[in-house]
């Protein structure tokens, strides 16, 4: 029976992610002010490595769904979902207020040079940019890691290092695929930390 519940929760979670993206794209579909590109010298020096798109998406989505495997009951699942919707809502508000977009020229590459560039081009057709700040990839990955730590899934230091290496790899992938600027990454991590604090302080306590 437990296995059936996990399957149902995974399916519901996938549906919620699809619906959530409809709202996530609002700042870039209906901008209320012009976008900015606050680049640094380091942004210019980071090379374009399209192969990292497989981590950008291939590692990101399974990791996003992984807390479902460790949830003990429905109330915990609902509480978890609330925290992610709070993250989504907050990111949308910030993206509307401070719209950041990666340089357009970063998307000028040989789209059919490899399977990686083809997949990256598909990702960019769906996500046209314009709400890069804060990085939702980094925010979600950090929030997932915080929840997994809270759910006591870690019993060794090496396992903890492995867990937290995933948000780091996701963050690096956002830079190598030229999907984000450096400024987007710490902002995403800070947003996740804030939402997690609200979740633990107020939502879990209800």
pLDDT, tens digit, 9 for 90 and up, residues 15-59: 999 999 999 999 999 999 999 999 999 999 999 999 999 999 999
> For 56-106, how does the pLDDT look when each residue is reduced to its tens digit (9 = 90+)?
999 999 999 999 988 888 888 999 999 999 999 999 999 999 999 999 999
pLDDT the model gives residue 13: 96
Q: Check pLDDT > 80 for residue 3.
A: no
The pLDDT assigned to 5 comes to: 81
pLDDT band, very low/low/confident/very high, at 202 (cuts 50, 70, 90):
confident
* pLDDT of 126 over the 80 cut: yes
pLDDT of residue 2 exceeding 80, the answer is: no
Specify the higher pLDDT residue, 150 or 178: 178
pLDDT surpasses 90 at 143: yes
C-alpha distances in Å from residue 106, one per residue of 24, 49, 50, 120: 22, 11, 11, 12
pTM of the model: 0.94
Q: How many CB atoms lie within 10 A of CB 116?
A: 15
Largest CA distance in the chain: 54
Contact 34, 99 (CB under 8 A): yes
Question: H-type helices in the chain, by residue range?
Answer: 2-24, 26-29, 41-45, 53-58, 60-65, 74-97, 115-126, 136-150, 157-176, 184-198
Q: How far apart are CA 133 and CA 34, in angstroms?
A: 13
Q: Would you state the pLDDT for residue 167?
A: 97
Mean of the per-residue pLDDT values of the chain: 92
CB 192 within 8 A of CB 150: no
Q: pLDDT tens for residues 156-187?
A: 666 788 899 999 999 999 999 999 999 999 99
Q: Which residues pair with 36 in a beta bridge?
A: 100
Bigger pLDDT: 5 vs 170: 170
Greater confidence (152 vs 125) lies with 125
């Amino acid at each position: 029976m437990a296995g059936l519940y996990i399957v149902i929760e995974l399916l519901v979670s996938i549906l919620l992610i699809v619906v959530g993206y409809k709202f996530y794209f609002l700042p870039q579909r209906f901008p209320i002010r012009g976008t900015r590109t606050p680049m640094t010298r380091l942004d210019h020096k980071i090379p374009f490595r399209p192969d990292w798109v497989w981590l950008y998406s291939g590692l990101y989505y399974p990791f996003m769904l992984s807390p479902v495997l460790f949830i003990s009951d429905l109330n915990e699942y609902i509480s978890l979902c609330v925290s992610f919707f709070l993250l989504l809502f907050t990111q949308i508000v910030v993206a509307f207020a401070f719209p950041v977009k990666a340089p357009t020229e970063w998307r000028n590459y040989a789209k059919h040079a490899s399977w990686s560039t083809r997949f990256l081009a598909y990702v960019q057709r769906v996500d046209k940019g314009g709400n890069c700040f804060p990085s939702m990839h980094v925010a979600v990955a950090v929030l997932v890691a915080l929840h997994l730590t809270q759910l006591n899934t870690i019993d060794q230091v090496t396992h903890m290092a492995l867990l937290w290496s995933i948000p780091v790899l996701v963050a690096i992938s956002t830079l190598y695929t030229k999907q984000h600027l450096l400024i987007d990454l710490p902002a995403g991590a800070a947003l996740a930390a804030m939402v997690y604090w609200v979740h633990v302080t107020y939502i879990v306590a209800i």
